[in-house]
């Protein structure tokens, strides 16, 4: 590797675990998104949330470059008639996510919420979120496919207990559910969520001291995710920060 290219690697602009990436110019044209992600991959940054289409961003990353892919991708709620009367807010969910194998291959392990909607390999260790107060028009549970070889597990988390942390995304996962999900992969130091939404996976990762990469196509949701991540540092939850209030003890980002 040329000296100039090696310097770029050291600065986190290129990911090169072998110390030898040839013809990188044809594979990766550094942009703001590339630079942020490569800084996390190299260990020079603890995390980032970038605005982009994961189908454009992920092909630039090497396979197995992160420890865990943890995500809640679109699976066609809009096409099935909407959800909770929020159909207009679910335009992004007209079709299920595609190229699943492509983005799962970026991690050594994976958690895919809504995995029952996709053609994934058999798994013994499904994660189940039981919503005891779910409305009749919605399911009582949500399922996550995992790459673990273990027994299926369940968490009981009411929707009502989650409402206080909602920040503007109609399908925002509860922080407790994502913290629980990540607990099954204690050795996963670097986590990527290619369908980041309002950033719950990244917030959970940050709270657990893990590094994270979030990719989200909506600039509005990217802004919300970054607000929530900032709230982890300041201790001021997003809703209180927006209202100009002081930190509340024990509040959720």
Is 48 within the bounds of a domain? no
Q: How many domains does the chain have?
A: 1
Say if CB 42 and CB 9 are below 8 A apart. Answer: yes
Is 17 within the bounds of a domain? no
What residues contact residue 27 under an 8 Å CB cut-off, 6+ apart? Answer: 21, 60
CATH number at residue 207: 3.40.50.150
145-178, pLDDT tens digit by residue? 999 999 999 999 998 888 778 777 777 899 999 9
The widest CA-to-CA distance across the chain, in whole angstroms, is 62
Is 30 within the bounds of a domain? no
- Which phi and psi (to 5°) does residue 14 adopt? -130, 140
200-244, pLDDT tens digit by residue? 999 999 999 999 999 999 999 999 999 999 999 988 777 777 777
pLDDT value of residue 4: 46
28 versus 217: which is more confidently predicted?
A: 217
pTM: 0.79
Is 52 within the bounds of a domain? no
Is 237 within the bounds of a domain? yes
Is 72 within the bounds of a domain? yes
How far CA 225 is from CA of 25, 166, 199, in Å, comes to 31, 11, 4
State which residues form the domain around 195.
62-242
Query: Facing residues of 70 across strands?
Result: 111
For residue 66, what is the DSSP state?
E
């Amino acid at each position: 590797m040329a000296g100039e290219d090696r310097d770029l690697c050291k600065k986190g602009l290129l990911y090169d675990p072998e110390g030898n990436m040839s013809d990188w110019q044809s594979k990766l044209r550094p942009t703001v998104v590339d630079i942020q992600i490569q800084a996390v991959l190299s260990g020079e940054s603890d995390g980032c949330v970038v605005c982009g289409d994961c189908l454009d961003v992920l092909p630039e990353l090497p396979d197995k470059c992160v420890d865990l892919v943890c995500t809640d991708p679109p699976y066609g709620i809009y096409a099935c008639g909407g959800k909770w009367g929020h159909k207009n807010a679910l335009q992004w969910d007209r079709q299920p996510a595609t190229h699943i194998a492509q983005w799962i291959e970026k991690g050594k392990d994976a958690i895919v919420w809504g995995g029952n909607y996709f053609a994934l390999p058999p798994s013994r260790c499904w994660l189940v979120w039981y919503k005891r107060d779910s409305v009749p028009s919605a399911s009582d549970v949500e399922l996550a496919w995992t790459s673990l070889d273990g027994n299926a597990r369940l968490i009981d988390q009411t929707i009502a207990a989650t409402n206080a942390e909602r920040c503007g995304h109609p399908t925002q996962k509860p922080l407790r559910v994502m913290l629980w999900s990540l607990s099954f992969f204690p050795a996963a130091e670097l986590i990527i969520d290619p369908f980041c939404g309002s950033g719950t996976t990244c917030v959970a990762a940050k709270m657990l001291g893990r590094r994270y990469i979030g990719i989200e196509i909506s600039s509005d949701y990217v802004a919300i995710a970054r607000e929530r991540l900032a709230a982890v540092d300041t201790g001021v939850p997003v809703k209180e920060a927006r209202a100009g209030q002081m930190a509340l003890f024990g509040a959720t980002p």
